[in-house]
Chain A
Amino acid sequence: MQSYSGWAISWGSEDKLTLFTLSAGALNGFLLGGLYAITALGLSMVFGVMRLVNVVHGELLVLGAYLTLFISTALGLDPLLATLIVAVVLFLIGYSLQLWVFNPVMDRGMEPPLLTAFGLSIIAQSLFLVYWTTNTRTINTIYSQRGLRLVGMNVPVIYLVSFGLSLVLIAGIHLFMTHTYPGKAIRAATQDPETAKVMGVNVKWVYALTYAIGAATTALGGTLIGMTFSFVPASGLSWLLKGFVIVVLGGMGSIVGTLAGGFLLGTAEGVGAAIVGTGYRDMIGLIIFLVVLVARPTGLFGRAGSK
């Protein structure tokens, strides 16, 4: 998140702090919150369902960005269309990872899966370096650089696009979870894995499916990151941390909460950056994270009693 593509960030402390810059920051931040929610969705699902702190989530996002860039350039597709192909690829990668890498260590407490994910993140970052070098990349489209006037303020079109997509994606996942058999199996395995097993739910399959869906959402997250900002092989960490903040703000593992968390973080960053300066922008969320977790270990909207 070091550099921004286009003119998107013309607001911030470089301008004098006025009510206008403050509300522009809030509006842009709020809209950007949609993008944030998409990037955190997979992290939230995987944590919610199997208590796996998926520290390789940031690398999945970056992989999504690289693959979209690669496929859209190779096939001459619009990046958002290419994302559909990338989502399938990431779904398969995610499914295999959970089945063969995570499942064997899932019953050994929370640390081994976390450290396994950490090992994967080292591997992924190195492979990005090998194949795509350290060059800073962006995914350019006609609309990714455009802006429009909204209530007298400049708003990047891509913020509006990701805002809309976040609503669609989260509604889709929500419906999937409540209205389909796999979705119901996932919820059953979340609430009580042992009973779900007795009732004939294949918990290992549910875990693989959850991870796969979570990974598939990172395709869109990665694409939007690439279109809105820029990315390098090591970009994953800052997006992982943003994801933690959103998950904590939205309540651990709640899908609709993730959307709320994204909007909250976006708005807080927009307002905060207008006050203290854009250099500290990434720190704002981290401070919120620490304060919220210390005050309310279950997250802002978390259910009491759930750990």
Chain B
Amino acid sequence: MSRPYGLWGLIGLLGVVLIILPHVISRYMVFVFYMVWLSIGLAQSWNFLAGYAGLISLGHAAFFGIGAYTTAMVVAHWGVPFWVAAIGGGLMAAAFSVAVALPIFRFRGIYFAVGTLVLAEALRIWMINWDFTGGAQGIHLEPDTGTSLMGFYYIMLCIAAGTTVLLIAILRTKLGMGLRAIGDNEDSAQNNGVNTFRAKLYAFLISAFIAGFIGGIHATKMASIEPYSIFSAMWSLSTVNTVIIGGTGTVLGPIVGSIFVIFLSELLADYHTFHLVITGIILILVIRLIPAGIWGQMRASRFAKRIRGGVTT
């Protein structure tokens, strides 16, 4: 391994800073950072599908929502620790992804995008009407689970870091190569011996598990969930938005995108409705002028080549 030691030093330093950070900033800023980590986790799980395998899903909210609901139901009925329940939430989301994979993988490109959007909306309407999960009222948990906001900050930080490391690790495996081959050209990947269905299925279920797990943690933090907001298409759409602005198909793009989008909305908090107008304009400009995204563009420039050394980010 010819990795520069400087990079490891930098990562270690960043880790220490992020661990100390919530103790020195305001409670409100801890929440903002919590949302940044949540956004990074969701963005990485989406990037994994879209950025490498080219499967642009507009239905990520479905996995997030399934994870949230499963976790809330399990905690409410059986009283198990929430993080165990959240793993159950992730597994339920993964199970759902496997169940719908066969039909949904018949769609390619934009049809996949539209198909996943429709699927997620159908699920949302189902959840609004399903009495078993509390219908439109949703589920209310005992607010105190013994975990403070700071606790959730650390959990989400671990998820954000964990999914990023997982992505890097998977990209080095046969599955990662298969996904990239699919992203380049699905038919030629198939012809060259990649089992495209299996590769897409693994990517889909890993992505679903992560989104479901994040949904479960977030549901515990919110303590009260209802289908309109938990299954809202906004979760899918803001994730797509974040990754495209940051840089699709790069490891650091979703991180850059999350920081950019969340802090932009904080900066424009006084004009709260206009921040989405500006985000929309930025999205359109990024697609038109720098399709590789902010990080993708920086990576191509000399600045990035100097700091990244031999490591592909």
A contacts, CB < 8 Å to B:
53, 101, 104-105, 108, 110-112, 114-116, 118-123, 125-127, 129-130, 237-238, 241, 244-245, 277, 279-280, 282-283, 286-287, 289-290, 293-294, 297
Contact = CB atoms under 8 A, between A and B. Distances in A.
Contact of A129 (B103, B106, B240, B273): B273
B155 to A, nearest CB: 29
Interface stretch (B25-33, B71-79, B251-259, B277-285): B277-285
What is the interface of chain B mostly: helix, strand, loop, or mixed?
Answer: helix
Contact of B276 (A114, A123, A279, A289): A123
A115 B277 CA distance: 15
Interface string B230-244: 000100010011001
Contacts of A279: 125, 128-129
B121 A290 contact: no
22 contacts: A101-B284, A104-B288, A108-B291, A114-B113, A115-B283, A118-B237, A118-B240, A121-B280, A122-B276, A125-B276, A126-B277, A126-B280, A238-B121, A241-B117, A244-B114, A244-B118, A277-B129, A279-B129, A283-B125, A293-B115, A294-B103, A297-B111
A110 B113 CA distance: 11
Contacts, number: 103
Contacts of B150: none
B121 A53 contact: no
B222 interface: no
A57 B227 CA distance: 25
Nearest to A238: B121
Given A115-B283, A279-B128, 4 more contacts: A112-B287, A126-B273, A293-B107, A293-B111
Contact of A119 (B109, B126, B233, B280): B280
Interface string B101-123: 00100110111011101110110
A293 B113 CA distance: 13
B56 interface: yes
Contacts of A286: 118-119, 121-122, 125
A83 to B, nearest CB: 27
A132 B73 CA distance: 38
A123 B285 CA distance: 13
A108 to B, nearest CB: 7
Nearest to A112: B287
B277 A287 contact: no
A126 B284 contact: no
B288 A116 contact: yes
Contacts of B103: 290, 294
Contacts of B115: 290, 293
Given A110-B109, A297-B106, A297-B111, A123 B287 contact: no
Interface string B260-293: 0000000000000110110111011001100100
B284 A237 contact: no
B285 to A, nearest CB: 9
Contacts of A237: 121, 233
Contacts of A123: 276-277, 280-281
Contacts of A112: 287-288, 291
Contacts of A282: 125
